[in-house]
Amino acid sequence: MKLILNALLLIVVCSISALPQGFDVKAKGTQTFSFKDDKGRNQATFHSITPFDEVDGLTTEISGQVSFNIKDLKNTLKGEISLPTESLKTGIKMRDKDLKEPKWLDAEKYPVISFKIKKVIEVKKTAPNKLTVKVIGDFYLHGVTKEIQAEVTMMYLDESAATQAREPGDLVGVTGNFSITLSKFNVQNMILGKRVSDNIDIGVNIVGTNKF
C-alpha cells in the first residue's frame, strides 16, 4: 500500500510540474515586449573584484525583445537582449577607454554584446503576476558565443494609470543575474586576474512594454 501511495504521489507531482506555468493577468495569448528605452532607465551592470581592485560598471543602452504565451512561459519564452560594447561605463574615463581597446573587449571589432534565450528549464510562480525563471541562453562577447544559465524574476503589470507614468501598454519587469569567465571569451589581457577578475558578475534590471 505504501508503495502504491508513493507512486500516486509521484504521478501527481510530475503532473503538476508538467502543467503550463504562466501569469494570472488580464492579458491573453502571446505578447511581445520591447526593452528599448530612450530615457535610459533600463540597466545592465557588471562587477569585478580582486585583492587589488574592485570595479563596477553599467550601461543604459539596452535593446531587444521577448515574447511568450501568458499561460505557458516555459514552452514559449523566446527573445534576445543586446547592448553596444561602446556603451559600457565604469566611472573613470581612462578605464572606460581601455575597456574598449583591442587588448580588452575591442568595441570596434565586436560592437555588440548579447544574450539569446534558447530554452527555459524551470518556472516557479511566486505571485499571480510574478515568476522566477531559469533559462539557458547563448551569451555573445568579444566574438565568442558560450551557453550560460541565468536566473531571472519576471513581473507582469497590466496597463493602469500607475504603469502609464512609465510607458503605455502592459509592462514586464525583468531582473536577473549570471556570471561569465572572461578568458573563455578570449579576453587574455595580462592584467586579467590581478586588477580585473576573470570571473565577472552580470546583472540586469529592465522593463519592457507591449506597445511600441
Q: Which pLDDT score, from 0 to 100, does residue 10 have?
A: 44
pLDDT tens-digit readout, 43-80: 999 999 998 889 999 999 999 999 999 999 999 999 99
Cα distance between residue 43 and residue 88, in whole Å: 11
Check residue 17 and give its pLDDT.
44
Q: Cell for 99?
A: 575597456
pLDDT of the residue at 15: 38
| pLDDT at position 5 over 70 | no
* Interval 72-121: pLDDT, tens: 999 999 999 999 999 999 999 999 999 999 999 999 999 999 999 999 99
Phi/psi for 52 (5° steps) reads -100, -25
Q: How far is it, in rounded angstroms, from Cα 41 to Cα 207? A: 8
Rounded CA gap, 108 and 72, in Å? 40
Predicted TM-score (pTM) of this structure: 0.88
Q: C-alpha distances in angstroms, 104 versus 91, 143, 190, 191, 204?
A: 17, 12, 10, 10, 22
What is the pLDDT at residue 19?
Answer: 52
Q: Enumerate the β-bridge partners of residue 46.
A: 57, 202
Sequence spans of domains, the chain: 22-209
22-209: CATH superfamily: Lipid/polyisoprenoid-binding, YceI-like (2.40.128.110)
